[in-house]
Each structure stands twice: as C-alpha cells, then as structure tokens.
C-alpha cells in the first residue's frame, strides 16, 4: 500500500488534479476557434511535455529503487520491500496522468463514458490479479504484491488507450509530439504552478497519515486507514468526483461566456445533488461499514481484531465524506474561475490541522487518533472554502431553491433511524452469504426510504424539477 502512495501523489497533482483543472478552462476557451489545428494544439503541447517529464522521472525513480533495493538502503524489511514495488508502480503515473488530460478534453467535448470507465479498468485489473495469484494459485505475499504492481501499470496503459482511441475516432484528433509554445499554454502553466502547491499539500496529508501510521506498533494501522480510504472513495468517486467532472466544463464555459445565471444554476445544482448523496453515504458507511469489511476483507489472516479495528476506523472516517465531496466541487468552482489561490490556502489549512491533530491524537489514541485528525482536517478545509465563496451563506443552505439543506437533513435523520432499526432485525448469520443478504436488504431499505422521503418533500434535482416528478414520469 505504501508503494502506491507516491504514484497516487503524482497522479492527483499532474493528472486528475491541478493540471487537469488548469487545462480544462483554457482548452474550453480554445474550442471557440473553427480551425481544427488550433483546437487541438494545446492538447498536444500539454501531452508532449507530460510524456517527456514523467518518462524521464519514472526511469530515474525506477533506477533509484532498483539500486536502493540491491544495496539495502532501507534496513526495515517493510520499507525495503515497499521501495522495490514503488519502482514498478511509479510507471503508472505516465499513463494515468496522460489519460486524465485526454479525458478532460473529452469532457469539454461532452463525451464522458471513457472517463467513467477508466477507474473500472484499474479496479478490475487489481481484483482479477489478486483473485488469480492469491486465491487460485495461493502464491505468497511478496509474489502477489509483485503481480499486483505489474497489473497496475498494465491497467494504466489500458486507461490511457481508451480515451486516446475515443478522441481519434469521434473527433479526429491527430497526435503529434511538439514542444512549441502558445499563449494558451502559458496560461495553463501560470494556473498550474499556483495550483500544484495546493494539490501537493493535499496529497501530503495522505502521505503524513500513512507515514505516521507506519510508525505505530500496530502493524495493521496502514491497512486500516487504506481500507477506510478506499471505501469512502467509492461514494466520492461515484457522486462527487463524477458530478464535478461533468459540471466542471459547464462551469468553465459559463464563466468564459460571462453567463453568471447559468453558472449559479450549475453551481447550486451540483452542490445540492452532492449534499443529497454524500450525507446518506456517510450514514450508510457508519452503520453498516462493519458488514462491508466482513464481506470484502475478512479472509485468512485478516479477521477478528483486524475487522473490528478497520470497522472502528471506518466509523470515524465515514463522516468525512460530505466534507470531501463538497470541498471537491467547490474547489472545481474556483478552478473554473481560474482562481487557484483559495484552494491552495484551503489545502494548507487542512494540512496544518491534520499534522498537528495527528501528532497530538496518535499519542493517546493510536490509529483512531489519525482517523479523527483526517476528519478534522476535512471539516476545516470545507469551512474555509465556504467562507471564501461568495455564493454560499446560511441562507443558501436553508433555501429551497439552492441547497435545500433542511430537507436533506430531515430525510437523512429519518433514514438513519430506519437503517439502524433494519440492521437489528436482519441479523441472519456470520457466513459470507448471510452477511451479503443482510447488507443487500439494509441498503435497499435505506435507499428506498430516503428517496421516498425526499420525493414527498419535493426535493428538486438538476433542472429544479422535484424528485417525485421524475419518479412519476418513469
């Protein structure tokens, strides 16, 4: 897990993070030209520099990792092994960062399926590799980790080829390597260098938590945090990141066209839907997270105390989902305005809170303290972003035409009671099949009850039409 930290750091800084956020608004404006060469010139310039920089960097990291592994630079076995696997997985950043830029170009062109399918490729590649190597062939841990590292790179190549093919097929994009300059490239660069510090700080939060967890005596600390992070990334990826990805080009276009009415409509609609989806996601992970961990992760050595601790950590981290989800969208709204400074300061606030709280709380509460530190950091980051956003206020939260916070809060509290009651009544047994049946029934009851309450409250969706109107139409 530590071996994936550095590749993810660069992926979120250069690919899905700041570079993409700097690229999309400028690329969106460049599409106003009728000249097809001009439309794609910026994409080729950015992609060429990305290939060159990451290619050289990946080779250097790979050589260093191999040299350090052969000469035993790291005395502790887990650092020694993590360094070796990092030399393999780091090549993933070349393809995933390039893929993110290509997906951003597709999103501006209102083509979203390639970007939506991209994470599925990575997850499927990892799951299939672990199933074959670990379950079918019962290979040892180090061999499984080696195959897993290689599978990540293979998945990265496939994630890159998918949007590449889509751009060529649908929009007749022609790739050519170029290191030429342009006014648009300079604008991307100026936005990127400000924003990259914010993205780096945000990723340092994750790195700090894992490194501090690595120092704890509990050998499972890193795994508990990693499992929790992966589980909360599911609702974040499906709801917050997906919706932000879809609306980001629209926000950027509205700002470019100086159409503030359309911008505000998209902004409030996005936040409203994210708030509607993220709060019940937190409730679900808090109430049934232990069942999810038992179903997915309770195998062989990982059981008993490990499952209990992982569930306990997830119960804390689950409440950070709305904070991260809303922050993700608000940061994108600032990026659409080409404002990278406020997200940078928000990330700095989050980093300072996380670092101080982690050092203080881990001394008394161990890995649970690190989880609480992450939660506090997420809250204060969102608080700062809301303070600096002119469109947000207490009124916008209460207003039925903007965020509809009271309706969401009432429906969420009702769902909490219903799900908690359902969990106590659906205890079927401890087998995987029984847990799956219990989890499925609870999720269905929770989803149906929540949507029904929102429908009765006439909760508005993207176009302002009530949810009940949508259901009746179907």
Q: What is the DSSP string of 113-147?
A: HHHHHHHHHHHHHHHHHHIIIIIIS---HHHHHHH
- What is the Cα–Cα distance from 27 to 188, expressed in whole angstroms? 9
Let me know if residue 195 belongs to a domain: no
Let me know if residue 35 belongs to a domain: yes
Work out the pLDDT band at 474, boundaries 50, 70, 90: very low
Most confident range (mean pLDDT) of 171-175, 363-367, 417-421 is: 417-421
**What tokens were used for 326?**
């809303």
Let me know if residue 61 belongs to a domain: yes
Per residue in 17-70, pLDDT (tens digit) is: 677 778 888 887 777 666 566 678 889 999 999 999 999 999 998 898 888 888
Listed range (15-19, 133-137, 281-285, 288-292) with the worst mean pLDDT:
15-19
294 or 56, which is more confident?
56
Let me know if residue 458 belongs to a domain: no
- What is the Cα–Cα distance from 366 to 249, expressed in whole angstroms? 42
| Residue 203: pLDDT over 90 | no
Q: What is the pTM of this model?
A: 0.74
Residue whose C-alpha is closest to residue 253's, from 42, 27, 33: 27
Note down the domain range covering 21.
1-180
Count CA atoms closer than 13 A to 448's CA, side-chain side: 7
Let me know if residue 76 belongs to a domain: yes
Residue 131: partners with Cβ closer than 8 Å, 6 or more residues away: none
Rounded to the nearest 10 degrees, how much is the dihedral formed by the CA atoms of 327, 328, 333, 336? Answer: 150
Number of structural domains in the chain: 1
Let me know if residue 125 belongs to a domain: yes
The DSSP H or E segment spanning 289 is helix 260-297
pLDDT value at residue 198: 66
Let me know if residue 280 belongs to a domain: no
Work out the pLDDT band at 78, boundaries 50, 70, 90: low
Work out the pLDDT band at 9, boundaries 50, 70, 90: low
Let me know if residue 101 belongs to a domain: yes
């Amino acid at each position: 897990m530590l071996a994936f930290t550095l590749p993810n750091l660069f992926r979120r800084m250069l690919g899905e993070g700041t570079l993409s956020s700097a690229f999309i608004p400028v690329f969106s404006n460049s599409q106003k030209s009728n000249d097809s060469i001009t439309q794609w010139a910026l994409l080729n310039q950015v992609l060429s520099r990305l290939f060159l920089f990451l290619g050289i960097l990946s080779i250097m990291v790979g050589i260093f990792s191999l040299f350090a592994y052969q000469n035993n630079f790291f005395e502790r076995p887990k650092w020694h092994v993590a360094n070796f696997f990092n030399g393999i997985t780091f090549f993933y950043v070349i393809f995933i960062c390039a893929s993110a830029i290509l997906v951003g170009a597709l999103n501006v062109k209102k083509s979203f399926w390639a970007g939506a399918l991209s994470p599925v490729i990575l997850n499927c590649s990892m799951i299939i590799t672990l199933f074959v190597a670990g379950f079918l062939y019962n290979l040892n841990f180090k061999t499984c980790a080696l195959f897993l590292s290689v599978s990540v790179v293979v998945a990265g190549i496939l994630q890159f080829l998918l949007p590449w093919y889509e751009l060529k097929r649908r929009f007749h994009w022609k790739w050519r390597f170029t290191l030429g300059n342009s006014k648009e490239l300079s604008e991307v660069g100026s936005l990127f260098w400000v924003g990259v510090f914010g993205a780096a700080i945000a990723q340092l939060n994750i790195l700090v938590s894992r490194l501090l967890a690595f120092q704890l005596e509990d050998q499972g600390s890193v795994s508990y945090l990693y499992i929790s992070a992966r589980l909360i990334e599911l609702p974040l990826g499906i709801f917050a990141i997906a919706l932000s990805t879809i609306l980001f080009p629209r926000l950027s276009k509205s700002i470019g066209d100086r159409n503030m009415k359309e911008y505000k409509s998209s902004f409030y609609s996005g936040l409203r839907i994210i708030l509607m989806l993220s709060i019940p996601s937190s409730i679900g992970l808090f109430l049934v997270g232990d069942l999810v961990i038992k179903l997915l992760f309770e195998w062989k050595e990982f059981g008993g105390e490990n499952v209990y601790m992982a569930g306990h950590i997830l119960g804390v981290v689950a409440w950070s989902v709305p904070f991260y989800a809303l922050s993700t969208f608000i940061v994108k709204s600032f990026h659409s305005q080409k404002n990278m400074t406020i997200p940078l300061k928000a990330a700095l606030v989050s980093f300072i809170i996380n670092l101080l709280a982690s050092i203080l709380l881990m001394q008394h509460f161990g890995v649970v303290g690190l989880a609480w530190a992450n939660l506090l950091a997420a809250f204060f980051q969102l608080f700062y972003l809301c303070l600096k956003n002119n469109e947000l206020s207490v009124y916008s939260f209460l207003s039925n035409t903007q965020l509809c916070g009271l309706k969401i809060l009432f429906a969420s509290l009702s769902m909490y009671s219903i799900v908690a009651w359902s969990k106590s009544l659906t205890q079927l047994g401890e087998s995987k099949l029984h847990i799956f049946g219990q989890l499925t029934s609870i999720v269905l009851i929770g989803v149906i009850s929540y949507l029904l309450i929102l429908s009765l409250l006439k909760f508005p969706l993207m176009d302002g039409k009530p949810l009940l109107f949508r259901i009746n139409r179907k």
